[in-house]
Structure 1
Amino acid sequence: MPRAIWSGSVSFGLVNVPVKLVTATSSKDVRFHQLHAEDGGRINQKRVCSLDGEEVEYSDIVKGYDMGGGRYVIVEPEELATLDPEADRSIDIEEFVELSDIDPLYYDHSYYLIPDGRADKPYALLAETMARTGKVAIGRFVLRTKQYLGAIRAHDGVLVLSTMLYADEIVPQSELEVPTTDATKPSKRELDMAEKLVESLTSAFEPEKYHDDHREKVLALIEAKADGQAIAAPEAPRDTAPVVDLMAALEASLAAAGARGDGSRKKASA
């Protein structure tokens, strides 16, 4: 079982549910170390002053906020500590909202909330109530001296907490350069064809059928090299021709999707 990184309680109204916070995800990235090409030694990172080029001890490093123009404001750890939010070990639910009202842009990291101590019954009550109502609880809590905004929802009888970004952390779409001229507006026929293509590719989401092909290839390459096999360099990819006729591309896509669907149905019947 994953180790709890926080313990406290979820409170809504006068109901208090003791919980523990555990990570809900596990990164599977293939990580490489930096090595010296000549002798294979690990590369060490050093802290070097940009002015005199001397290595600096960690104890001699302070935090500075860049004000622009080469001016920094030095802030001491003791000064920051006076501003740390009070860690009251509680996630106070401020409101319940519809899941569809939350844009996925706001989600950050996901965690599981599991019952702590003798909290099984109130935990089950909260999880079942949220599942029946389809609501998401919004609240704030403190983790490692930082205040987070969180969304709590029920998933198969377990409470899932997703930390969220604040509104001012989302890049406004008004800052994007997306052309919206008459020339880019699709025709009714193009929209009808595109909708048919979407319908032909629509199915129930099954996360288990997706896997990281690239990671598997990297691990296979590592295993092959560890066994002494020579790895041939791949051919340079060919340039993909730009789509000139949008309708022709849609029609070809629909035909390909239909052929794939027929093949799947034949396989299922067999």
Structure 2
Amino acid sequence: MPRPVWSGSISFGLVNVPVKMYNTVRRKTIRFNQLRKSDGCRIRLKKTCAADGAEVTNEQIVKGYEISPDQYVIVTQDDLDALNPKASKTIAIEDFVLSEQINPIYYEQAYYLVPDKSSVKAYMLLLSAMQSANRVAIARLVIRNKEQLTAIRPADNLLTLSTMHFADEMIPHTALDDLPADQSPPDKRELAIAMQLIESLSTDFDHQKYHDDYREKVMEMIEQKAEGQQIVNQPAATQNTKVVDLMAALEASLAAIKKDQPEPAKTRRKKSRAQ
């Protein structure tokens, strides 16, 4: 049973809506331990001084910010505690914006917001109003002594909260070196074939369709090794760097997809009549 990671209230004008915040993701990361090859003994990592190689305990370690090579400003935990944002149990909404104005790359981590039993009416009012207005709420929240910029969004019958990157954390695309310089429109025939290719692959999104194939293969390999089976390594994939004719590649891709797709019933009936 999931447990809330935070509880407090959404501040909406003069209205406070008590909510609980839950994780949306249960990560399935495969973790390995480091072992000594000769006997499988567990490896422990020690903290040592770069100058003399002596082991250093946690009590002897302080934080330092490098201002120039090998020159540090020492920062204590008290220094940081004095600057921590004031702990709050409120998600303070500052603005409502159109959802299409937010680039998805700004989003970081998502949570569910579930209403307290005493706040269902106010919660559903906020949810319905945001859905009708097609608006996203921009709010601030303090989590683990860190102020987070967040976006509250309607999703089906509940609200979700996504932490967001601040503007000065984002890398503008104009800073990239390899942006295409040629902005001329594509060939009309190539564009038409590309549109057909997109249309032939278009479908409704089904999240259950997609799996982490690599993780599943790793777990299968681990189970086989645990049972003493011999593992055959797959050959490394080779990268195709050959320059191909774009039009020919598009047409071949479209033909391959049409070949794999089942024939419409109408076409099958015509063929059977002709026979």
On the 8 A contact 1:243/1:249 being kept in 2, the answer is: no
CA deviation vs aligned residue, 1:71-112 (integer Å, no higher than 9, x gap): 111111111111111112111111111211111110100111
Percent identity over the alignment is: 48
Letter aligned with residue 191 of structure 1 = L
Q: Is 1:192 paired with 2:210?
A: no
Aligned to 2:121: 121
CA contact (8 A) 1:154 1:160 kept: yes
Cα distance between partner residues in 2 of 1:150 and 1:190: 42
Aligned to 2:106: 106
SS in 2 for 1:118: helix
Deviation at 1:117, TM superposition (A): 4.5
Which of structure 1's runs of 4+ aligned residues deviate more than 6 A? none
Q: What TM-score, normalized to structure 1?
A: 0.92
Q: C-alpha distance in 1, partners of 2:182/2:102?
A: 31
More off after superposition, 58-67 vs 251-260: 251-260
Verify: 1:72 aligned to 2:78, yes or no.
no
TM-score by length of 2: 0.90
Amino acid at match of 1:14: L
**Alignment map for 1:150-189 (pairs within 5 Å):** 150-182=150-182, 186-189=186-189
How big is the shift at 1:120? 1.7
What residue identity is the alignment partner of 2:208?
Answer: E
Other structure's SS at 1:86 match: coil
What is the CA–CA distance in structure 1 between the aligned matches of 2:162 and 2:226, rounded to whole Å? Answer: 40
CA RMSD of aligned residues (A): 2.0
Compute the displacement of 1:164 (Å).
Answer: 0.3
CA distance in structure 2 between the aligned counterparts of 1:177 and 1:195, rounded to whole angstroms:
29
Q: Post-superposition shift, 1:183?
A: 9.0
- How far apart are 1:195 and its partner, in Å? 2.2
| Map of 1:133 onto structure 2 | 133
Aligned residues of 1:137 and 1:152 also touching (Cα < 8 A): yes
Task: State which structure, 1 or 2, has the greater radius of gyration over its C-alpha atoms.
Answer: 2
Structure 1: which 5+ residue stretches go unaligned? none
Distance (Å, rounded) in 2 between the aligned partners of 1:204 and 1:243: 33
Aligned residues: 266
